[in-house]
Amino acid sequence: MTPTTDETRGVRAITWARRKQATAGVWREFARDRGGLIGLGGLVLIVLLALLAPVLTDETALEVTNTTAQPRQPPSAQAWLGTDRDGISVLLLVWWGARVSLLIGFSAALLSVFIGTAVGILAAHFGGWLSTTLMRFTDFFLVLPTLVLAIALSAVLPRGIGTIVLAIGVASWPTTARLARAQTLTIEARPYIERAKALGAGHRHVIGKHVLPAVLPLVFAHTTLVVANSIIAESTLSFLGVGDPSRPSWGGILQAAFNSGAVSQGAWWYLLPPGIGIVIVVLCFTLCGRALETVLNPRLRGQR
Amino acid sequence: MSDVLTGIEQPADEEAARGAPRGSGAVRFLLGKLGSALLSLALVVVLGFLLFRMIPGDPVVTMTRGRPVSPEQLAELRERLGVDKPMWQQFVDYIGGLLRGDLGTSYLFQRPVADLLTERLGPTLLLVGTATLLAIVLGLWFGIRSAWRRNSRFDKVSTGTALTLWSMPQFWLGLLLLIAFAGVFPSGGMRYSDTPPDVFSQTLDVAYHLVLPCLTLTAAVYAQYLLVMRSSLLEEMNAEYLTTARAKGLRDDLVRRRHAVPNALLPTVTLVFLQFGMVLNGAVAVETVYSWPGLGLLTYEALSGPDLPVLQGAFLVLAAAVILMNVLADLLYRVLDPRVRAT
Amino acid sequence: MTENPGTDGAVLLELRELSVRYRAARDELPAVRGVNLRLGAGETLGLAGESGCGKSTLAMSVLRLLPRSARVDGQVLLDGEDVAAMRWGRLRAVRWASASVVFQGAMHALNPVRKVYDQIAEPILLHDSDQRPDEPPAVRHRVHELLDQVELPAGKAEAFPHELSGGQKQRVMIAMALACDPRLVIADEPTTALDVIVQAQVLELMSRLVAEHHIGLIMISHDLSVLASTCQHIAVMYDGEIVERAPSEQLMRAPQHAHSKALAAAFPTIGDPASRFAPATSNPLPEQPSERPVGEPVLRTEELRVSFRARGGRTVRAVDGVDLEVGENEIVALVGQSGSGKTTLARTLLGLQRAESGRVLFRGTPLPTSTSGLRDYRRQVQLVLQDPTSALNPRHSVYEAVAEGPRIHGLTTDEIGRVTRALEAAELRPAERFMSALPHELSGGQKQRVVIAGALALEPAVLVADEPVASLDASVRGEILALLLRLRIELGLSALVITHDLGLAWNIADRVAVMYRGELVEVGTVEDVLLDPRHEYTRSLLAAVPGGTHRAEPANGLRH
């Protein structure tokens, strides 16, 4: 006999109602944090603008051959944020650069969080020599100067967005691994895991039903911070000259500005906008992440 | 009460007594930490090899990317770097070289990498050391005040400033300061060529050049320390022993100074040392902006080659420095926390 | 309500219409409502009540140690001076010098990074104007004297808190409380985290010191028998008010208020036939069948040994050669103090811990070692844990928690029916009302019923319950014990109940096994073991029960 559809629906309804309630609760808590809301609003706006760049602007204006404006002009009615060394509008450069910076930031963060979560949960759940080895490795990568490692990686690999994503992702996963491991250990020390085991649960049940649902929200909150870090790391790497010159990110624009002598000429309009872009995006991510962490990690509640 | 009763607490007593002979524990602790540091060092050495030798493609082609080179030049470079030999032979040569202090020859500078690294180590130590000390003092002081008066105006302003500084790429902050202080402070380098050679003038000159790079590096690092110190003190604020201290009639500032801060310092101190890698990241960016002749600038210069032997050498030295700081962190933690001492 | 002025007339502490409210997100939650209380010099008063009744808030308001969100109305007169009206300087001078506190968890109430000496000397240096800070010999002498009073060697002054056992830490707290010769000591659950026997020692010490130094004592506890053994008077608090105050003897014998009755009944007197097989419950139990067939042992251990590798490479044997059996339709209580190996034994019985040697047999077959074998075994033997709050995943609804076992075992047919039956067997009726609830919406007793329902959903033959009522309020305790007894009578479910509480064994168990340092030192029927203990350890356990036992001198006879 199989359960009737009515029954399964009833059971699912209970589960879904529970999940909806939990999500609503998280949102209510999050909405109380003004910083978090501002960060979220800012992010939505920036991501939308970046996505809509091809609709709202003319990409061909980025080509050196298509520009007629004078190079290095301060802001004016024609070019609101002035022009760069080739006479291209800085506003347009920054707008399109946002796409590259955000793309790399998100991809590198996803890569790093994926490696970190897997390593962290495995190390905490299985214990024994596997755990020792994994954690030794994590600790080792944790203390390595990430930028130097990323520089080394991007120096030896072919240039391009993929290399930068790989370099940042590989260099920055250990913090996530630590977090996932700590949270898994906390959860696995709870008596309800003991209860599940006494009920006959195996590894898959314990990880799938108890550990992952508790670890993922924290990892999610942490991811926003990792994205922020990745965007900074990307800008630094591009500034040092390992970026993709054909699709300049914010860091790439700054490198071009630095190398073309914008500092000595006092061309502040060339240097300020990309940097302010980075600061705003990173700040938004950080505010969001801190607010989310406070909501999802009750231990931190009332601290920030 | 019977004998059994009085005997009950014995096990715990024995447990406590075992913690007592600390001498042998300290030696074992030290050896353990040194052992794991050596293991990390070995991993760094292996990683240094793998990173630069086992990469997809020909390292010589990578190094000469974008430049016209003849096949003869390539072959010569191959032989000089030793990449024409089998992999195991290369590894043996690499380890042997390391043990003799030979890190190969720079392709760009045409000098031994080891000499280059020693020459550039001093300026980096000066910059990183000064900035870290300043950052610790500022970060801890602001962090403690912010946490103790949570949500006050002071807290909001200092935490907000820290978050903003933390969100800034350090090189960009450097560029801004360069523009802002153009003419007030030198725009790069470590000393003017025309400074008189006496010690006083030289010191003053270096200090003058140090101001901007040091300010830039401190800004980002202190922000991090502030946030860590603040949150670990906040975590201690609900501790019950603080209620005990208040119940004893202690003044608020004594409760903070004697009870809360010593406990909150523990996680902060570890983090300060563990995040030394982050300070080095910053140093690379800051040295590049200000042409400060340290390891970071060397890394940047080598990157434009790319000069693989120099990059490899810089990677080894910087990673070893971080591992050394970790050993120091463990030792310091042991001094600060009696609970670690007992195990 | 009777007011008792102090024995020598002086009023030490007086609370007049004291109310405390906590500011929550929107409204204010009252914790204490209009309490009047007087304590004379040298008097001892016990403050009893369940969690959340406001007793700790009341105690903390005496020294104005409440969190900032608390609003206090009414007066707290300490030696006739209103604490609420004191300036900060005066308040700091009064704290610890006039009244000191022994906090609940000595573990957390001591600063982990400072030596015992510094922590005891701190209030002396702060308050005693005679003890100049530049006179350390006198201070040192005083600290050693205090440690001597609490029966700790002077050498412990140089120890850090983590180097002390739980009992020793509580002694340090007491020494600290006495440091400035206060006239009032407030002890907030001073023995809750301690083991039965250590608890008896600490209580005896406190009673002695309070009497010797003529100190007024307010002691807070959820356990009436603890208070009765230390205090002259007991005040029972319920929902922020004092509902009854009487001399201890009288309150224990003839409680007036319904809530006092519930508290007094919760901890049975061992040897009292009225409470044998009759835990305090509002729901009458079915008739006990007079003749019960004692069948084959369902669960049996043979020479069971379990060891752990402790830090430093030593092995610690937690269970050492245990032969124990639980028969069909039988409840066995396994008693012993913490660290005696009880919990390890339980985990080994469930296959959660590997035995070093010896066997666990279920209906004559050894415990399987394969993963699938173990899973089948666990359908038969189920676990109920101590703290229901942590034994339930806070994210899972009651339905999911109860259905978890059947789902693991692939029992997907008629899942709703199965869950409903299990919930109703655990007396959560109607089952539908509870299914979609999350654990935090339930009371402690309801949560424990959900845990039990989760075990029952697999229709097991044996329940292993590890301290099933230790973390529950007194009034709920009887209900859960009655449930276990009812399951035995109605479903024939056998149970091994692990506990430090001899009263529990008296309430529901058929047989009792006493465990001491990994070994069973005495096994037998409840009457035999508890009323006529043979082993010295059993005797000391019984002696440590604060309420004492109800026992005729020739050991085996019951009074009445």
What is the tens place of the pLDDT at every residue in A33-48?
888 899 999 999 999 9
Residue B192 lies in domain? 24-56+103-341
Element (H, E) at C187: strand C184-188
Mutate to test the interface with A, among B53, B175, B227, B318 (most CBs of A within 10 A): B175
Separation of alpha carbons C219 and C222, rounded Å: 10
This prediction's pTM = 0.82
DSSP H stretches of helix in B54-184: 59-63, 71-81, 87-100, 113-148, 153-166, 170-180
Q: Which of A275, A278, A303 sits opposite B231 (nearest CB)?
A: A303
Closest partner residue to A144 among B169, B231, B319, by Cβ? B319
Residue B73 domain-assigned? no
Has residue A2 been placed in a domain?
Answer: no
What pLDDT is attached to residue A8?
Answer: 62
- Confidence at residue C312, expressed as pLDDT on a 0 to 100 scale: 59
Q: Give CA–CA dist B19/A275, Å, rounded.
A: 55
Give residue C278's pLDDT. 80
Verify whether the Cβ–Cβ distance A228 to B167 is below 8 Å.
yes
Structure tokens at B210: 């140090």
Q: How close A167 comes to chain C (CA, Å)?
A: 37
H helix and E strand count, chain B: 17, 0
Contact C202, C190 (CB under 8 A): yes
B335 φ, ψ to 5°? Answer: -70, -40
CA A114 to mean position of chain CA atoms: 12
Query: Per-domain residue ranges for chain C?
Result: 106-181, 297-308+316-390+462-543
Strand C241-247 versus strand C233-238 pairing type: antiparallel
The dihedral of CA C5, C9, C12, C17: what is its sign? positive
Number of structural domains found in chain B: 1
> What is the 3-state secondary structure of C295-359?
CCEEEEEEEEEEEEECCCCCEEEEEEEEEEEEECCCEEEEECCCCCCHHHHHHHHCCCCCCCEEE
Pick the closest to residue C511 from C524, C520, C528 (CA basis): C524
Q: Do C164 and B16 touch (CB under 8 A)?
A: yes
Find the mean pLDDT for residues A35-63. Answer: 87
∠ CA(B80), CA(B82), CA(B88), 5° rounding?
170
* Cα–Cα distance measured from residue A92 to residue A144, given in angstroms and rounded to the nearest whole number: 37
3-state secondary structure of A162: helix
Element (H, E) at C119: helix C116-127
Which band of pLDDT confidence, cut at 50, 70 and 90, is reported for residue B229?
very high
Residue type, C470: A
Q: What is the ipTM of this complex?
A: 0.85
Rounded Cα distance between C213 and C209, Å, is 6
For residue A254, the chain B residues in CB contact (below 8 A) are 171-172, 175
Residues sharing a CB contact under 8 Å with residue C344, sequence separation 6 or more, in sequence order? C306, C308, C318, C319, C353
> A245 CB near a chain B CB, below 8 Å?
no
* pLDDT tens, position by position, A174-185: 989 988 988 898
Beta pairing class for C462-466 and C381-384: parallel
Residue B56: the pLDDT is 57
Nearest Cα to Cα of residue B207 among B223, B221, B226, B186 = B186
Q: What is the mean pLDDT of residues B271-295?
A: 89
pLDDT single digits (tens) B35-54: 888 988 898 899 888 887 76
Contacts of B244 (CB under 8 A, 6+ apart): C101, C103, C109, C110, C111, C176
CATH number for the domain formed by residue range(s) C297-308+316-390+462-543: 3.40.50.300
Q: Touching check for B300 and chain A: CB below 8 Å? A: yes
Query: Which is nearest to C242 in space by CA: C13, C436, C47, C472?
Result: C47
pLDDT value, residue B15: 38
Phi, psi of B214 (to 5 degrees): -65, -45
Cβ proximity of B221 and B278 under 8 Å:
yes
Q: Report pLDDT for B58.
A: 66
Alpha-carbon span B178 to A135, nearest angstrom: 42
Token pair for C320: 């050492």
Alpha helix (H) residue ranges in C384-443: 388-391, 398-408, 415-425, 431-435
Question: What is the number of structural domains in chain A?
Answer: 1
Residues of chain B with Cβ-Cβ distance to C166 below 8 Å are 12
d(CA C355, CA C348): 6
For CA atoms C442, C446, C447, C451, the dihedral sign is negative
Instruction: Work out the end-to-end distance of chain B between its first and last CA atoms, rounded to an integer number of angstroms.
Output: 34
Q: How far apart are CA B176 and CA B173, in angstroms?
A: 5
Strand order of the β-sheet with C70-78 is C28-40, C11-23, C70-78, C81-82
What percent of chain B lies above the pLDDT cut of 90?
31
Residue A141 lies in a domain: yes
Residues C475, C50 contacting (CB under 8 angstroms): yes
* DSSP code string of A184-219: HHHHHTSHHHHHHHHTT--HHHIIIIIIHHHHHHHH
Choose among B51, B276, B304: nearest Cβ to A156: B51
The pLDDT assigned to B146 comes to 93
User: Of C277, C302, C279, whose CA–CA distance to C290 is shortest?
Assistant: C277
End-to-end CA distance of chain A: 54
- Alpha carbon distance B44, C432 (integer Å): 61
- How many CB pairs (< 8 A) connect A and C? 86
DSSP alpha helices (H): ranges in A32-89?
Answer: 34-51, 53-56
Q: What is the pLDDT of residue B20?
A: 40
Sign of the alpha-carbon torsion through A83, A87, A91, A96 = negative
pLDDT of residue A5: 53
Sort out which chain C residues have CB atoms less than 8 A from A11's CB and list them.
399, 403, 415-416
CB contacts < 8 Å between B and C, how many? Answer: 121
Q: What is the pLDDT of residue C553?
A: 36
Cis omega before residue C366 (within 30°)?
no
**Chain segment B53-112, per-residue pLDDT in tens:** 766 556 677 666 666 777 787 777 777 777 777 888 888 888 888 888 888 888 888 899
For chain C positions 298-317, those within 8 Å of chain B (CB to CB) are: 311-312
CA dist C135 and B326 (Å) reads 42
State the DSSP H helix or E strand holding residue A14, giving kind and residue range, or none if neither.
Answer: helix A5-31
pLDDT (tens, 9 = 90+) of chain C, 560 residues, equals 444 444 455 789 999 999 999 887 677 888 999 999 999 988 999 999 888 888 889 988 999 988 888 889 999 999 888 998 889 889 998 999 899 999 877 778 999 889 999 999 999 888 876 555 566 788 889 999 999 999 999 989 999 988 888 889 999 999 999 999 899 999 998 887 778 888 888 899 999 999 999 999 999 998 888 898 889 999 999 989 999 999 998 888 888 888 888 888 777 778 888 788 888 777 777 776 666 666 678 899 999 999 887 655 677 888 988 999 999 889 999 998 877 888 889 989 988 888 888 889 998 888 888 888 888 899 999 999 888 888 999 888 899 999 999 999 988 888 899 999 999 999 898 888 898 888 888 888 899 999 999 999 999 999 999 989 888 888 788 889 999 999 988 888 999 999 988 888 988 999 999 999 889 999 999 989 999 999 999 998 888 887 665 543 333 333 33
Secondary structure E strands in C42-141: 44-48, 70-78, 81-82, 99-102
Whichever domain contains B242, its CATH number is: 1.10.3720.10
- The C-alpha of A13 sits at a distance from chain B's nearest C-alpha, in angstroms, of 39
Query: Which pLDDT belongs to residue A276?
Result: 93
Partner residue opposite A241 with nearest CB, options B55, B281, B304: B304
What is the residue-averaged pLDDT of chain B? 83
Mutate to test the interface with C, among A15, A192, A193 (most CBs of C within 10 A): A192
Answer yes or no: are the C-beta atoms of C54 and C20 closer than 8 Å. Answer: yes
Minimum Cα–Cα distance from A273: chain B residue: B172
Preferred mutation among C540, C541, C542 to probe B, highest tally of B CBs within 10 A: C540
3-state per-residue secondary structure call for C25-38 = CCCEEEEEEEEEEE
Closest CA to C70 of C14, C31, C33: C31
How many CB atoms sit inside 10 A of residue C190's CB? Answer: 28
- Residue A96 structural domain: 28-54+87-303
Contacts of A142 in chain B (CB under 8 A): 274
Whether residue B2 is predicted with pLDDT greater than 60 in this model: the reply is no
Sequence-distant (6+) residues with CB within 8 A of A166 are: A111, A153, A157
